[in-house]
Structure 1
Amino acid sequence: MNKPLILVVEDDNAIKNLITTTLEAHNYKYHVAQTGNSAILEAVSNKPDVIFLDLGLPDIDGIDIIKKIRSWSNVPIIVISARSEDKDKIEALDAGADDYLTKPFSVDELLARLRVTLRRLNNIRLNAGDESSVFKNGDLKIDYMSGCVYLNEEEIHLTPIEYKLICILSKNTGKVLTHKFITKEVWGSSLESDVSSLRVYMAVLRKKIELDTSNPKYIQTHVGVGYRMMKI
């Protein structure tokens, strides 16, 4: 299998060098873009496997870059940004980002997020022959074989993290899953920052699958404990 190609979109030289040095040390191939326009050109011409995207670029806001790329590609986009408010994370995820890492970040966390994303892509290919691959619950359908999710027979776009969350919940329908259990399954850890990220991802996931987020029928919150997929 060819080594995955990572596109690093970052105009801060110190952070750019940290990311590229880390990727090089772990034998990942990478290209670099320092503006939004060059990032879009790189994405079109070189078709990277994953994009690391800073939101605060000199020419185009990162949110607009996500929207442009999403108009023609589902390449995983991991945002790396100093914008740390939940509303900023939700805006990026709503636009089509797959993950969100807040600056300052550790190298270990950066690599962990990358591994999760690549593992998700590989699992879709590996599970292509699984026959027991369709989950149905009310108007919600998950085709594990293709990695696609449908609501009322219309496909909805989920990021790799959102997809992993809905799979964890669907495969444990009726069970209350704790924050610790879910974060360990998704990120391999259960830090307070992971729980905060989980709340953000759940909020975005609900907006995509619930007709009324104030009265959800699929994902039930157990305050202070975790979440449960309800059987419809």
Structure 2
Amino acid sequence: MTIRKQSDLPIWLFSRTEAISKVNRIIYLQLGADGVFDHSYDRQECMLSMSNLLQRVKRRFYPKLAIANEKQTVTKNLSERLYLIAPNLSVCLGSGEEILLTKLEFFTIEYLYKHAGQTITYEELYKNVWKDTANERKYRVANVIFHLRKKIEQDVNKPQYIKTIRSKGYMLTV
């Protein structure tokens, strides 16, 4: 890769539509790519790989900045992170605390997690979590979100993870 000769910047390869064979992965990595991901990789796994590499780059190229901000960055990142643990139907907060959820709560936060940063309407959430298209089920979605917030938010009146988008739905901010 001629890019690698010119710069030390991180390089990741992503494929959303097709699987990348093991041989091709190895070739890309030998050419200098830092990560090779296809649709079979979990979003959380990709994000953690990128985050780890970016932290190393930051420490290497900006050591004074990294040391000065290390305590603040670690605290901020830990409090903002949220990880799904599917086999346990639970979430793990950045503090390391694992919180067990009901199936509906887990499927709800899982759907929001897959669409993090996007507004998800009440109808879309109901359709994809309950697998039903019945109208006027906003109260069920609101009830599950209420219980989720009680479990994962530090202050339910000022939610950090699940934001209400007025008259539309919810957004997960991680």
TM-score (norm 1): 0.40
| Aligned: 1:158 with 2:68 | no
Instruction: Tell me the percent identity.
Output: 30
**CA–CA distance in structure 1, aligned partners of residues 161 and 173 of structure 2:** 5
1:132 and 2:75 are equivalent in the alignment: no
Residue 217 of structure 1: CA displacement?
1.1
Contact 2:121 2:170 (C-alpha < 8 Å) held by counterparts:
yes
Q: RMSD value over aligned CA atoms?
A: 2.4
Q: Deviations over 1:176-232 (max 9, x none)?
A: 00111100001122434522111111001001111011111111101221100113x
Of Structure 1 and Structure 2, the greater strand share is in: 1
**Aligned partner of 2:90 among 131, 144, 148:** 148
Matched-pair contact (CA < 8 Å) for 1:179–1:225 = yes
Q: Which has the larger radius of gyration?
A: 2
One-letter identity of the residue aligned with 2:92: Y
Q: Contact conserved, 1:149 with 1:155, CA < 8 A, in 2? A: yes
- Which residue of the partner structure matches residue 14 of structure 2? none
Which structure has the higher relative contact order (CA within 8 Å, separation 6+)?
2
Structure 2 portions without partners, runs of 5+:
1-39, 49-76
Q: Select the structure that is richer in helix.
A: 2
Aligned residues: 102
User: How far apart, in 1, do the equivalents of 2:83 and 2:107 lie?
Assistant: 14
Q: How does 1:22-101 map to 2 (within 5 A)?
A: none
Q: 1:92 aligns to what?
A: none
TM-score between the two structures when normalised by the length of structure 2 = 0.52
Pick from 204, 211, 214 the counterpart of residue 154 of structure 2: 211
Return 192-201 or 139-148, whichever deviates more: 139-148
Q: Can you list the C-alpha shifts for 1:69-108, whole angstroms capped at 9, x where unaligned?
A: xxxxxxxxxxxxxxxxxxxxxxxxxxxxxxxxxxxxxxxx
Paired with 2:101 and 2:114, the residues of 1 have a C-alpha distance of 17
CA change 1:133–1:223 in 2 (3 A) is: closer
**SS state of the match for residue 166, structure 1?**
helix
Counterpart contact for 1:148–1:155, Cα < 8 Å: yes
Decide whether aligned partners of structure 1 residues 157 and 193 sit closer, same or farther in structure 2, where only a CA change above 3 A counts: farther
For residues 177 and 158 of structure 1, the distance between their equivalents in structure 2, rounded to whole angstroms, comes to 20
For residues 146 and 205 of structure 1, what CA distance do their matches in structure 2 show?
Answer: 16
**Aligned mate of 2:164, from 207, 215, 221:** 221
2:137 aligned with 1:194: yes
**1:177 equivalent in structure 2:** 120
Measure, in 1, the Cα distance between the counterparts of 2:114 and 2:159: 19
Inter-partner Cα distance in structure 2 for 1:146 and 1:161 = 13
Q: Counterpart of 2:137 in 1: which secondary structure?
A: helix
2:91 and 2:99 in contact (8 A); partners too: yes
